[in-house]
A = this chain, B = another copy of it.
Amino acid sequence: MEKQTITIYDVAREADVSMATVSRVVNGNPNVKPATRKKVLEVIDRLDYRPNAVARGLASKKTTTVGVIIPDVSDIYFASLARGIDDVATMYKYNIILANSDENNQKEVQVLNTLLAKQVDGLIYMGHSISDAIRAEFARSKTPIVLAGSIDPDEQVGSVNIDYVAAVKDATLKLIKNGNEKVAFICGNLEFPINSKYRLRGYKDALNEAGIPYDESLIFETEYSYSAGEALFGKVQAIGATAAVVSDDELAVGVLNAAVDAGVNIPTDFEIVTSNNTKLTEMVRPKMTSISQPLYDMGAVGMRLLTKMMNKEEIDDKTILLPYSIVDRQSTK
């Protein structure tokens, strides 16, 4: 025989009050006489009653759950953001439905729809680019959405990032000031606005400010992976570059190790600045100088922004830029 689940009705009957009163007690409504509250709480304890969140969600139209779309949890960059998101979510009594998208446009849209079907109160999206398909879904959804560590030039939804133009400009300038005339720019897919409109812009701005002509052969577009970096270093060296700004840490480790393995001295013969300041930067030798994006904070602030949107609070600016810095280590002079 199945053990019967205890409902609010059972508690009401045993405590000799109405369901409404039990509901009030459970939800901390002050309009309950202390004596009644005590009696109800005793019964709840005795019967070991646990409110059913699904029923509550249906009745109240709130699930206290937010959807999080992430390219890959096992990618340290996004996992760091996710950690910040979950901590703030917990703080505000929300839970997280986590869904991997693999940056696949079709999967993203599908995942978004199942998340909406599950009636999430809000949505956080992470990804290197916003496809037109997903942007269209964002537009027609009335569920609040925030992008974390992800750029959409449209600025239709909330977002939390750093100023990528300025960060890359600073990084490039540092390399130029160290005496490098040929600084390579190694990034991901240039179809992504974050790379073409922001990072590359910063790189060009730096050259411009230093009076160095832009040379397209110094731009290397590749995928974000350790092996891609390893494979790329030869070409970078062949073109005569003596330094590189790299958009991803794993990619940068690949470049760094390939250089070291090839007997190139870093930073004497070749300098590297990477972009995410994940713990990887401290685990490699030499340790890598990096732009420091406050990933955890970006997730946390993004989730905080989302709570405000879900609460329909006034938002002064839903496009948030967090401060960045450049952490000097041994891969630069």
Contacts and interface: CB of A to CB of B under 8 A. Distances in A.
Interface of A: 3, 50-55, 57-58, 63, 65, 68, 72-74, 76, 79-80, 82-83, 86-87, 90, 95-100, 113-119, 142, 226, 250, 253, 257, 260-261, 279-280, 282-285, 296
Nearest to A100: B86
Contacts of A52: 58, 117, 119
Contacts of A51: 117
A62 to B, nearest CB: 10
A96 to B, nearest CB: 5
Chief secondary structure at chain A's binding surface: helix
Given A119-B52, A283-B284, A86 B99 contact: yes
Copies in the complex: 2
A111 B240 CA distance: 55
A113 B76 contact: no
Given A63-B54, A95-B97, A97-B97, A283 B79 contact: no
Nearest to A84: B74
A55 B3 CA distance: 23
A257 B279 contact: no
